[in-house]
Structure 1
Amino acid sequence: MAILILTAAPLLPGVIADGTPAGFARLPWESIVVVLLLALMPWRPARVAVAATFGLLIVLASVLAGIDAGFESTLDIHFDPLEWQRLREAFGVVEDSIGSVAATTVIVVLAIAIVILAVALTWAALRVSVAIRAGRTRSTTVASTVAIVWIVTALLGARLVPGQPTAASASVGAITAATSRAAEGLSALADLPREIATDPYRDTPSSELLTALRGKDVIFAFIESYGQVALQNSSLSGGIHQVLRDGEAQLTADGYSSQSAFLTSPTFGGISWFAHSTLQTGLWIDKQSIYDAVMQSDRFALSEAFSSAGWRTVSDSPSNTQPWPYGTSFYGYDALYDADNVGYHGPTFGYAQIPDQYTWKFFADHELAAPHQPVMAEIDLVSSHTPWAPLPQLVPWSEAGDSAVYIPQAAEGKPASVVWQDPEQVRQAYAESIQYSLGAMFSFLHNSNDPDLVLVVLGDHQPAPIVSGQDASRDVPISIISKDPTVFQSIEGWQWHDGMLPASDAPIWPMDAFRDRFLAAFSA
Structure 2
Amino acid sequence: MSHPTPGHLPDDTVTPDSGGAAAGGAAAPEASAGAGSRRSGRPARGAAVGATVLAAALLLGALLLPNRLDSLTPSAFLRLPVEGIGLAALLLALPPRARRAGAAAGGLVTGLLALLKGVDMGFQEVLLRPFDPVLDWSLLGNAADYLRETSGRAGAVLTAIGVLAVALAVPALTTLAAVRLATVMSRHRRPAVRATLVLALAWTTCVTLGLRSGGAPVAATIDADLVADRVRQVRTSLADARVFRRQAAHDAFAHTPPGRLLTGLRGKDVLVTFVESYGRTALEDPAVAPRIGAVLDEGTAALRTAGFRARSGWLRSPVTGGGSWLAHATFLSGLWISNQQRFHTLTTSDRTTLTGAFRTAGAWRTAGIMPGIDRAWPEGGFFGLDHVYDRARLGYHGPGFGWSQVPDQFTLEAFRRLESGRRGRGPLMAEIVLTSSHHPWAPVPRMADWGSLGDGSVFRRLGTQGKDAEEVWKDPQSVRAGYRDAIAYSLRSVIGFLRRYGDEHTVLVFLGDHQPVPAVTGGSPRKDVPVTIVAHDPKVLERISGWGWTEGLEPAADAPVWAMDAFRDRFLTAYGPQPGG
Aligned-pair RMSD on alpha carbons? 2.2
Matched, 1:321 2:374: yes
Q: Quote how far apart the aligned CAs of 1:111 are.
A: 4.0
Give the TM-score taking structure 2 as reference length: 0.85
Q: Relative to structure 1, is the Cα distance of residues 115 and 193 closer, same or farther in structure 2, using a 3 angstrom cutoff? A: closer
2:120 equivalent in structure 1:
68
Quick one: distance in 1 between partners of 2:61 and 2:220? 11
Q: Hey, what's the Cα distance between the residues in 2 that align with 1:184 and 1:157?
A: 35
Name the residue aligned to 2:76. 23
Q: Out of 409-418 and 362-371, give the one that drifted further.
A: 409-418
- What CA deviation, in whole Å up to 9, does each residue of 1:491-523 have, x standing for no partner? 111111111111111111111110010011011
Distance 1:88 1:190 in 2: 26
- Check if 1:307 corresponds to 2:362: no
Which gives a bigger RCO, structure 1 or 2 (Cα 8 Å, sep 6+)? 1
SS of 2:392's partner is coil
Q: Percent of aligned pairs with the same residue?
A: 39
Partners of 1:14 and 1:435 in 2: CA distance? 34
Deviation per CA, 1:373-420: give whole Å up to 9, x if none: 211111000011111111111112212343221222357763212222
Q: Which residue of 2 aligns with 1:386?
A: 439
Aligned residue number for residue 388 of structure 2? 336
Structure 1 residues 360 and 110: CA distance shift in structure 2, 3 A: closer
Specify which of 248, 255, 259 is matched with residue 196 of structure 1: 248
Question: Structure 2 matches for 1:131-170, cutoff 5 A?
Answer: 131-137=184-190, 139-154=192-207, 156=208, 158-159=210-211, 161-170=213-222
8 Å CA contact 2:466–2:482 kept in 1: the answer is no
- 2:562 alignment partner, SS class: strand
Question: Aligned equivalents of 1:162 and 1:318: distance in 2?
Answer: 46
Post-superposition Cα deviations, 1:346-397, rounded to whole Å, max 9, x if no partner, equal: 1111111211111111112222222212111110000111111111111122
Partners of 1:274 and 1:316 in 2: CA distance: 17
The SS at the match of 1:36 is helix
Give the match for residue 49 of structure 2.
none
- Cα distance, 1:131–1:352 mapped onto 2, change above 3 Å: closer
Indicate which of 498, 503, 510 corresponds to 2:563.
510
- Find the aligned partners of 1:223 and 1:365 in 2 and give their Cα distance: 20
Superposition deviation, residue 298 in structure 1: 1.7
2:224 is the alignment partner of 1:172: yes
Kindly state the Cα deviation for residue 279 of structure 1 after the two structures are TM-superposed. 0.4
Greater shift after overlay, 171-180 or 345-354?
A: 171-180
Amino acid at match of 1:229: T
Q: Secondary structure at the match of 1:385?
A: coil
* Counterpart among 395, 405, 416 of residue 364 in structure 1: 416
Aligned residue for 1:466? Answer: 519
1:222 match: 274
Structure 1: how far apart are the matches of 2:542 and 2:79? 63
1:316 counterpart letter in structure 2? I
Q: Which residue number in structure 2 is paired with residue 409 of structure 1?
A: 462
SS in 1 for 2:287: helix
Q: Which residue of 1 aligns with 2:331?
A: 279
Match of 1:11 in 2: 64
| Residue type of the alignment partner of 2:83 | E
- Per-residue CA deviation, residues 279-304 of structure 1 (Å, 9 max, x unaligned), is 00111111111111111122211122
Is the 8 Å Cα contact of residues 333 and 352 (structure 2) preserved in structure 1?
yes
What is the deviation of 1:135? 4.2
Q: Is the Cα–Cα contact under 8 Å of residues 445 and 464 in structure 2 kept in the other structure?
A: no
Shift of 1:14: 5.7
**Aligned position for 2:36:** none
Partner of 1:254: 306
Secondary structure of the corresponding residue to residue 432 of structure 2:
strand
C-alpha distance after superposition, 1:294-321 (max 9, x if no partner): 1112221112211110121111111100
CA 1:393–1:15 in structure 2 vs 1: closer, same or farther (change >3 Å)? closer
Is the CA contact (8 Å cut-off) linking 1:64 and 1:174 kept in structure 2? no
Distance 1:281 1:129 in 2: 57
Q: Could you say which structure has the larger radius of gyration?
A: 2
Code of the aligned partner of 1:7: L
Note if contact 1:262-1:502 (Cα within 8 Å) is conserved in structure 2: yes
Match for residue 425 of structure 1? 478
**Using a 3 Å threshold, how does the CA distance of structure 1 residues 96 and 506 change in structure 2: closer, same or farther?**
same
Change (3 A) 1:308 1:423: same
**Kindly tell me: are residues 133 and 218 of structure 1, through their superposed partners in 2, closer, same or farther at Cα, counting changes over 3 Å?**
same
- CA 1:232–1:5: 2 relative to 1, 3 Å: closer
- In the aligned structure 1, how far is the partner of 2:70 from the partner of 2:290? 35
Give the count of matched residue pairs.
521
Cα 1:319–1:15 shift into 2, 3 Å: closer
Q: Secondary structure at the match of 2:314?
A: strand
Which structure 1 residue ranges, 4+ long, deviate > 6 Å from structure 2?
A: none
Cα distance in 2 between the residues matched to 1:247 and 1:262: 19
